[in-house]
Amino acid sequence: MHEPFAEFALLLIITAAVSALAVRLRQPVLIAYIAVGILVGPAGFSLVTAHDQIDLLAQIGITVLLFVVGLKLDLRHIRHIGAVALATGLGQLTFTILFGFFIILALGKGWMEALYVAVALTFSSTIIVVKLLSDKRELDSLHGRIAVGFLIVQDLAVVIAMMVMSGLGGMGEEAGGGTLILTLLARLGGAALLLLVLMRYVLPRIVHTLARSQELLLIFAIAWGTALAALGEYAGFSKEAGAFLAGFSLASTAYREAISARLVSIRDFLLLFFFLDLGSKLHFSTLGDEIGTSIVLSLFVLIGNPLIVMAIMGYMGYRKRTGFLAGLTVAQISEFSIIFVAMGISLGHVGNSALGLTTLVGLITIALSSYMILYSQRLYAWVAPWLGPFERLHPFRELAVEHAQRDNKRPDIIVFGLGRYGSRLAHTLRQQGINVVGVDFDPEVVRAQQHHGLDARFGDGEAPDYIESLPIAHTPWIVSTLPDYASNFALLHALKEQHYDGHIAIVARDENEAARLGKLDQIEVIHPFNQAADFAALDLAARIASAELSPEKESP
């Protein structure tokens, strides 16, 4: 079987089967991807020969991944990360890099390889952590919000590291130290200036025009990401840095959540090929020499990273339980770690042994930390007696957060679909003092409703990843005025994935649709035409009765 299409079909079937087993074992699927790569590669059964095609898809997958990361880093949100997330993120980065660097040097590695691997050990997987916390319904908890905050700090750090290392790699070895630094700063400054002009004057108008079509918006996002990735490599940086900047340039637009939601599935599919390609290039002969080193570094990540997070959060005034639960989220390295070291190989800074070592550490830490996060409450109950040194007598900051949460006003209702009925419903509720959030995929409708004072947001109610970005956790009511049954069913599926347990009401357009919706569990059906007719009938009946009771006018 040497036809590329047939090889891809076989590869996807094997991946689906192994991934199903990984999910059954409550493991992230990327472990299954790497395992399949090893299985079908030269170290296994050598089933796949279409390496060029897989490598191209892998590069596009990395581009889309970095684009989505950049898309998530809205400057307005970064300003509100908070002191604890910033201090914890920077403290953990500093601790891991310094101690990891000297540990790796002591294990006999060169200084450049030690630097790359030490930096790689600092990054935790945002995708895996958010998925696990979401499944446990802890994403909106205090430790969940803090964890997401310092994961954002890590995402920023990995991109800065990629840009710096790729910038250094494109300058040549003949440049002196001072010249090298000045040249790098000039190139970074030029890139920042160009990006600022695009973000302020060009991209908002283009995206607003393209947002009228969902398909066109998606195509533009991928085209923009791959174009800047290619430009970044041409300018002497890297495809990864260019892709991140492409996403970051759109992060402040009103359409970032909608773009991100539609790219997530594409990102996950294409990243499959990166990890398959990675696994197919790993050889057991080279990995065998790294087993001892990988175990030492894995213990360092599994134990050292949570300890520094607990120490920092305890010092800043949080309870030991919050620090422990947040600390577990950094007890693994991420897909970025592997991508970062792979970039170092392409720049000629490190060899394949560094990638093999990082991959082994990733497999060990991701597998173990997944269970640590899933069973965090039991684990905490077991180790709590020994965590006293990590808690202040008066956890003032956590007490202040609890007080602020009690005063924080969340939406009372979210209305999906801001057409004639949805917008009228939303504004009438607002007049009654109800806190309303409206969602629609038409940018013109969203802008018009915002102009009339409604908290209207651009997004697709059928996309689970967009639903995740909304404050639905404590919103008691959700109303859908979407136009057809398929759209409403997709919205219900997305809400179910987010474990929403509030009230859901759906507007039925006709009796057939009302009958189909009525068969669904825990759904309240709104009959707008019946209600309007009933109200009109009652109003007319009251007027007729009033006219009959009034004295007739005498005829002249």
Domain span including residue 432: 413-548
Q: CB of 115 within 8 A of CB of 132?
A: no
For residue 403, being part of any structural domain is answered with no
Domain boundary among 390, 425, 457: 390
Could you read off the pLDDT of 310-356 as tens digits, one per residue? 888 888 888 888 889 989 988 988 878 888 888 888 878 888 888 88
The per-residue pLDDT for range 447-502, each reduced to its tens digit, is 899 988 898 988 888 777 788 778 887 789 999 998 888 888 888 888 888 788 88
pLDDT tens-digit profile of 69-117?
788 766 655 555 567 778 888 888 999 999 999 999 998 888 889 999 9
171 and 241, same domain (yes or no):
yes
The answer, yes or no, to whether residue 39 has pLDDT greater than 80, is yes
Q: Say if residue 354 is in the same domain as residue 489.
A: no
CATH code, 456 = 3.40.50.720
Check whether 140 has a pLDDT greater than 80: no
> Do residues 219 and 207 lie in contact, with contact meaning Cβ atoms separated by under 8 Å?
no
Tell me: pLDDT of 371 over 60.
Answer: yes
Give the 3-state secondary structure of 269-299.
HHHHHHHHHHHHCCCHHHHHHHHHHHHHHHH
Q: Are residues 381 and 425 in the same domain?
A: no
Using the predicted structure, report yes or no on whether residue 415 has a pLDDT greater than 80: yes
Q: Answer whether residue 2 shows pLDDT above 70.
A: no
Question: Do 180 and 260 belong to one domain?
Answer: yes
Q: Does residue 327 form part of some domain? A: yes
Statement to judge: residues 241 and 152 lie in one domain: yes
Provide the b/e sequence for 204-236 (b: ≥16 CB within 10 Å): beebbebbeeeeebbebbbebbbebbebbbebb
Domain boundary among 390, 422, 450: 390
531: pLDDT strictly greater than 90: no
The CATH code of the domain that includes 345 is 1.20.1530.20
If asked whether residues 385 and 528 sit together in one domain, one would say no
Please name every residue paired with 507 in a beta bridge, in sequence order, or none if there are none.
Answer: 526
Which range, 29-43, 416-430, 478-492, has the best average confidence (pLDDT)?
A: 416-430
CA proximity to 270, closest of 222, 341, 325: 222
- Tell me the per-residue pLDDT of 56-70, one tens digit each, with 9 for 90 and over: 888 888 888 888 878
Distance of CA 36 to the CA centre of its chain: 25
DSSP states along 474-496? T--EEEE--SSHHHHHHHHHHHH
Looking at the 3D structure of the chain, how many domains does it have?
2
pLDDT at 180: 58
Look up the pTM and report it.
Answer: 0.68
**416: pLDDT strictly greater than 70:** yes
Identify whether residues 181 and 37 lie together within a single domain: yes
User: Does 551 have pLDDT greater than 50?
Assistant: yes
Whether residues 36 and 108 share a domain: the answer is yes
Using CA atoms, how far apart are residues 435 and 29, in angstroms rounded to an integer?
40
How much is the pLDDT for 174? 47
Exposed e or buried b for every residue in 331-349, given b needs 16+ CB within 10 A? bbbbbbbbbbbbbbeeeeb
pLDDT tens string 221-263: 999 999 988 887 777 667 777 888 888 888 878 788 888 888 8
Q: What is the mean pLDDT of the chain?
A: 81
Note whether 426 and 367 are same-domain residues.
no
